[in-house]
Structure 1
């Protein structure tokens, strides 16, 4: 076992360490996505920034969902869509981050619902779930996908920014 880094060892209070670590991690700009799926009784969506591609053969993506989120337990074993948001969709990000402010415009998918107008989308069937500490890592096999032109929405240092289309 290796000794803790001097940076982490400098913090005696675990809450302070977590706050500083979160600030350091927040310096890494990420895209903003909304995971959508049908639950037993209603449609769900949640804003995430922990999304990544995993494999092209087979086509797999991963989303990390915090265990304390209400929709977490409802996602297990269900098809889902990852909707990567365009720069013009900040209101959509906030809506699904727990600040309802609109009536979502849904598109029916073959496996899971998606939002209208995202920069890109990946409709997935469940592949695997893994323990990720205070998150669960949901891997999905990409069954359908698409994209549009335009700038993308990103998140860094606690705020939204625009990633211009190249």
Structure 2
């Protein structure tokens, strides 16, 4: 059986049909605070409490995450500028405020210590053990089909 060449752009479009939330993964390093926007985030386990973040190998913040504590900031629907800032479209002044490695006003955060790291092809898969978390009521920022969007409010 012969494999057909896969059209990577079309595969990406197919993956884009899965609606996700938007996070900013942040960490502190001797060279300052760093972060990246990620929508490849998922819970893994409740016992122990583990989460997974998939990070593109070309991301500038990648070396700062290796063997480092990190925070997953789940963004609110009004934090699109923050998502873009950490996606490489930096703004001056920054459209957010720091609270340690947390992004103030985020819908939720999970502070993690490193648990495991795996080869994920053109990505690195970081598994973190949640050591502290908090969340608030509100509406999340969502991503669907290559664009930011909103989730229908609770009824």
Q: State TM-score, norm by structure 1.
A: 0.87
Paired residues of 2:36 and 2:86 also in contact (CA < 8 A): yes
2:51–2:130: 8 Å Cα contact kept in structure 1?
yes
Question: For 2:40, which of 31, 41, 50 is the aligned residue?
Answer: 50
Q: Residue in 2 aligned with 1:161?
A: 149
The structure with the greater share of residues assigned to helix is 1
Aligned Cα root-mean-square deviation (Å): 1.4
Larger radius of gyration: 1
Residue 65 (structure 1) aligns with:
55
Q: May I ask how many residue pairs the two structures share in their alignment?
A: 152
Instruction: Flag the 1:68–1:145 CA change in 2: closer, same or farther, 3 A.
Output: same
Kept after mapping to 1: 8 A contact 2:27/2:64: no
1:72-93: per-residue Cα shift (whole Å, max 9, x none)?
1221000000001000100100
CA distance in 1, matches of 2:2, 2:34: 43
Tell me by how many angstroms 1:71 deviates. 1.0
Matches within 5 A, 1:85-164: 85-101=75-91, 102-103=93-94, 104-108=96-100, 113-164=101-152
Counterpart CA distance in 2 for 1:25 and 1:149 is 28
- The TM-score with structure 2 as length reference comes to 0.93
- The DSSP-based 3-state class of the residue aligned with 2:79 is helix
- Given that 1:152 and 1:165 are in contact with CA atoms closer than 8 Å, whether structure 2 keeps it comes out as no
Whole-Å Cα distance in 2 between the matches of residues 165 and 48 of structure 1?
A: 22
* Ranges in structure 2 where 5+ consecutive residues have no aligned partner: none
Gaps of 5+ in 1: none
